[in-house]
Amino acid sequence: MQTKAQHISYNDNNEQIKYIKRVTDFFASSGKAPIANIHTFGCQQNENDTERIKGILKQMGFGFTSEDEEADFILFNTCAVREGAEDRVLGNLGALKHLKLRKPNVLIGICGCMMQQEHMVKRIKSKYRHVSIVFGTHTLFKLPQILFEAITRDKTVINVCDAHGDIIEDIPILRESSPKAWVSIMYGCNNFCSYCIVPYTRGRERSRKADDIIAEIKKLVAEGVTEVTLLGQNVNSYGKDLDENIDFAELLRRVNEIDGLKRIRFMTSHPKDMTDRLIDAMAECDKVCNQLHLPFQAGSNRILKLMNRRYTKEDYLALVGKIKAKMPDISLSSDVIVGFPNETKEDFLETIDVLEKVRFDTIFSFIYSKRSGTPAAIMEDSISDKEKHENFDRLLEVQNRISREINETYGGKTVEVLVEGPSKNNPEIYSGRTDTGKTVNFPFHDETKIGDYVNIKITKVNTWSLDGEII
Ligand code: SAH
Ligand code: SF4
Ligand code: F3S
């Protein structure tokens, strides 16, 4: 039997407080405030971890840059979910060898999901000798100690633990100033989908106590946040491991009562754990957005079984029917994998059939990537890469048409948008999102502020976004 996760306060961890002081003193004696650059890969949970890493670094006097050349500490917070993500990290890390030769004092580190895999740690140790810091997802809170060891010792500091991890509350979080914030409500995953590395890199499901989550959101609201996204690999199983009697539906209702909060989003929901209680809570809570990310992964029952998803195509379609009956305008999105071992054309066409029947607003689609240590990695696969890519292209074609058709229904309508900031390519154009998660771009007005909720008339429809004007 697995023992329950301990809920520990970071501030009670005297061991780390000692190191915070030592690291601060070390850099203070050099007369220059240290600067860090963190490269983040992977999911929102990793983004949220980076915000924690930044919070801890700030405690030790660090400032931040987005340029490696300016940094004293360069850290890669990594994702292991697909080979492509890992290759990008290794490529970027390799390219820093020259920088380390020119600036021997620069500290280069790698952390996150990739480092929870023993073979990766070995590879870093043997081939990336310019790396001096390695830590995993469960030891993030030990960063003060890890950093202290790295600056005082002349060898690579490795601090990876494969225990399932405790919950460390009160880690300082340095978020970008924004009306939106990520809030992790649980960590880990118990589902062991046969293709997926996440249960191995993040450990077993551990839920934060509801009071801790509510307190964090209230604090965020006091700082000006009005939209939160509750994060977990499967938020629908929230609370199952807690002593208190609470489920995700109840948590949503409690978050919905927070004064000053306007929008609640959450991800990700596993279809097998989507209860009627949760559908009712979504429909009844006015702040919960009209949007749901509900990955189905594949349409063929044979493949779903091999994936260990524990529902059938029919179960999924019935669930969507139930959700749409309660929330007819809901915007649905999904994750889809193409090219699971031995996925035939017939299997693939079942996936297309789900797209046509559900009509998702968007999907995030991936070509299957073999992850060593997962059950699918040893499954036979006789399907060629060419066929997988053809299927993938077909999937995108079908989905692009559906996304465009759904966006067309917004033409001429007025929607409420939370103003998030200038668009990346044009500072005159601002962008924000509707309750249904659509990105809307609009010309900036002097009287508009980031964080405002404005009404926008949609004047142009694109496949991925909408254009409009404030009215
Ligand atoms: N816990 C979430 C998200 C997990 S990772 C969920 O269950 O929905 C995000 C997505 O990456 C998954 O939904 C899946 O579509 C994709 N993914 C995971 N492992 C993969 C693999 N080995 N190859 C390709 N895609 C993968
Ligand atoms: Fe991976 Fe499945 Fe867990 Fe999602 S639910 S993180 S796909 S094992
Ligand atoms: Fe990647 Fe880890 Fe998230 S493997 S998807 S960063 S949980």
pLDDT (tens digit per residue) in 240-267: 999 999 999 999 999 999 999 999 999 9
Residue of 51, 76, 79, 268 best suited for mutating to test ligand 3, as the one with most atoms within 8 Å of CB = 79
In this structure, the residue with its CA closest to atom 14 of ligand 1 is: 335
Closest listed residue to residue 252, CA positions, set 281, 210, 215: 281
Band of pLDDT at residue 445, cut at 50, 70 and 90: confident
Residue 367 CA: nearest ligand 1 atom is 24
Q: Going by C-beta distance under 8 Å and a sequence separation of 6 or more, which residues neighbour residue 321?
A: none
Lowest mean pLDDT among 163-177, 214-228, 325-339, 366-380: 163-177
Between the CA of 93 and the centroid of ligand 3 the distance, in Å, is 18
Between the CA of 87 and the centroid of ligand 1 the distance, in Å, is 17
Whole-number pLDDT of residue 13: 65
Predicted TM-score (pTM) of the model is 0.96
Alpha helix locations (H) across 136-257?
143-152, 198-202, 210-222, 248-256
Whole-number pLDDT of residue 447: 84
Q: Point out the ligand nearest to the CA of residue 201.
A: 3
Whole-number pLDDT of residue 1: 41
Closest listed residue to residue 23, CA positions, set 146, 173, 168: 146
Between the CA of 382 and the centroid of ligand 1 the distance, in Å, is 22
pLDDT in tens, 148-160: 999 999 889 999 9
Whole-number pLDDT of residue 31: 84
Residue 197 CA: nearest ligand 2 atom is 1
pLDDT for residue 165 is more than 80:
no
CB 50 less than 6 A from any atom of ligand 3:
no
What is the rounded average pLDDT of the residues 17-25? 93
- Cβ atoms of residues 190 and 198 within 8 Å: no
Band of pLDDT at residue 2, cut at 50, 70 and 90: low
Whole-number pLDDT of residue 162: 80
pLDDT for residue 280 is more than 80:
yes
pLDDT in tens, 93-103: 999 999 999 99
Residue 191 CA: nearest ligand 1 atom is 7
Give 416's strand partners: 455
